Structure 1
Amino acid sequence: MTGRVAAVNIGVVTEARWAGAASGRSGIDKRPVDGPVSVRADGVAGDFIGERAHHGGPDQAVYAYAQEDARWWAAELGRDVRPGGFGENLTTWAVDVTDAVIGERWAVGSTLLQVTKPRTPCTTFAGFWGVPDLIRRFTVGARPGAYLRVLRAGVVTAGDPVEVVDRPAHGVTVGEVFRAMSLEPELLPRLLTADELPGPTMDKVRRRLKAPG
């Protein structure tokens, strides 16, 4: 089965107590849009990002989440989870996002995207969903979705194929990075082979490996 984009989602401005201490506004509430959407090195055109200290930037320009994982969460929580409900720009179908290799490249529409790292759950996410223990449940569930760099700007439309055009030989996956940084520190040494990890993430890995105990 060929992977594809099930939906392209853009964040609307949400003002709430949980929306971030700095601005009080969040773009986590993303909604599907019709037609082609421009994707640039700094992200998806028209997308709102409230806390740029922690979100956005070249290594987190686009966030992808698998529709299959969203369905797992819908069953887990007993409620519907619509496209964009994870704050993702791209809702994918038949793309194994958790097992995507760090550094692999996706041809999507006229863009070229590169997998960089998993998403880390935050209190804003928990507040948006209204699930107080969501950070713990998200961590245990280990279905984090993937951040992407934009190697070639272009246009993406719902229904576009997602083609993996290059996959690094190291084999370190999004899921492995997430588990190593949360519940399975014994995986940390393996992450050192993934040169495509963002610098700050790699620095964090090295610090943890040097920490006593």
Structure 2
Amino acid sequence: MHLIAVNIGRERQVQVGERTVRTGIYKTPVTGRVRLDAFGLEADVVADAKHHGGRDQAVYAYSAEDYDWWAEQLGEALEPGTFGENLTLSSFGREPVRIGDRFRVGEVLLEVTAPRIPCGVFATRMSDLEWVRKFRQARRPGFYARVLVSGQVQAGDPLERLSTPHDYPTLTELFELHYARNPDPARVRRLLEAPIAERARRDWERWLEQFDQA
């Protein structure tokens, strides 16, 4: 496995319904080595800091294998960075990715924290009003990660997956739980034992508190 592309975006303004939104989702591959630290890729833009970026979502990664699947569905190949990912990996490996799994990319070490949840900006990027539904149904979300070891990365760097020794939820489990109408409290408590992103942790802790008080 290896790193296929490092993708960086500049800020744009797009129209999402009646809103004008600032976004960094339009990313393209760059050449050479790029610094990656706890706050993300050097020179990459995080326009919506409320929902993106930060130490627990410093990096978004997607796989070429999932892009190949989308190419079959859409009838066209998609270039690295199309989904707004910072890192395009050749593969995530054979086993389902779990929260807490680690990926060594060159000299950088990442820890998986959350799946990507599609939004209206993503649909605008894809020029498809049905994109949120399609992405949800595909169940191929890619992952956000925190950076445990900083360093420089470039296309072609070797990629190694270090699976967590714990039975933490898979990305798909967390992705589906996000859309559940009546989440199972036991599943939520199990999820909170994992090193998930702080945004997701706050939301689920708040939900569990309300459930316990009901």
Partner of residue 68, structure 1: 65
State the TM-score, normalizing by the size of structure 2: 0.87
Q: Unmatched 5+ residue regions in structure 1?
A: none
Partner of residue 157, structure 1: 154
Q: Give 1:50 deviation, angstroms.
A: 1.4
Partner of residue 9, structure 1: 7
1:8/1:120 Cα in 2 relative to 1: closer, same or farther (>3 Å)? Answer: same
The reply on whether 1:173 has 2:173 as its aligned counterpart is: no
Counterpart-to-counterpart distance in 2, 1:143 and 1:92? 14
**Alignment coverage as a number of residue pairs:** 210
1:46/1:170 Cα in 2 relative to 1: closer, same or farther (>3 Å)? Answer: same
Partner of residue 201, structure 1: 200
Q: Does the aligned pair in 2 maintain the 1:70–1:81 contact within 8 Å?
A: yes
Q: Give 1:198 deviation, angstroms.
A: 2.3
Question: What secondary structure sits across from 1:31 in the alignment?
Answer: strand
Partner of residue 42, structure 2: 45
Q: Give 1:28 deviation, angstroms.
A: 0.4
Deviation digits for residues 73-118 of structure 1 (CA, Å, limit 9, x no counterpart): 1222222211000000011112249921101221111111110000
Counterpart-to-counterpart distance in 2, 1:188 and 1:100? 22
The reply on whether 1:145 has 2:142 as its aligned counterpart is: yes
Q: Does the aligned pair in 2 maintain the 1:63–1:90 contact within 8 Å?
A: yes
Q: Does the aligned pair in 1 maintain the 2:14–2:22 contact within 8 Å?
A: yes
Partner of residue 76, structure 2: 79
Identity of aligned residues (%): 38
Question: What secondary structure sits across from 1:192 in the alignment?
Answer: helix
Output the amino acid matched with 2:171: V
Question: What secondary structure sits across from 1:69 in the alignment?
Answer: helix
Q: Give 1:191 deviation, angstroms.
A: 4.5
Q: Unmatched 5+ residue regions in structure 2?
A: none
Output the amino acid matched with 1:205: W
Q: Does the aligned pair in 2 maintain the 1:98–1:174 contact within 8 Å?
A: no
What is the RMSD of the two structures over their aligned residues, measured on CA atoms? 2.5
Q: Give 1:139 deviation, angstroms.
A: 0.9
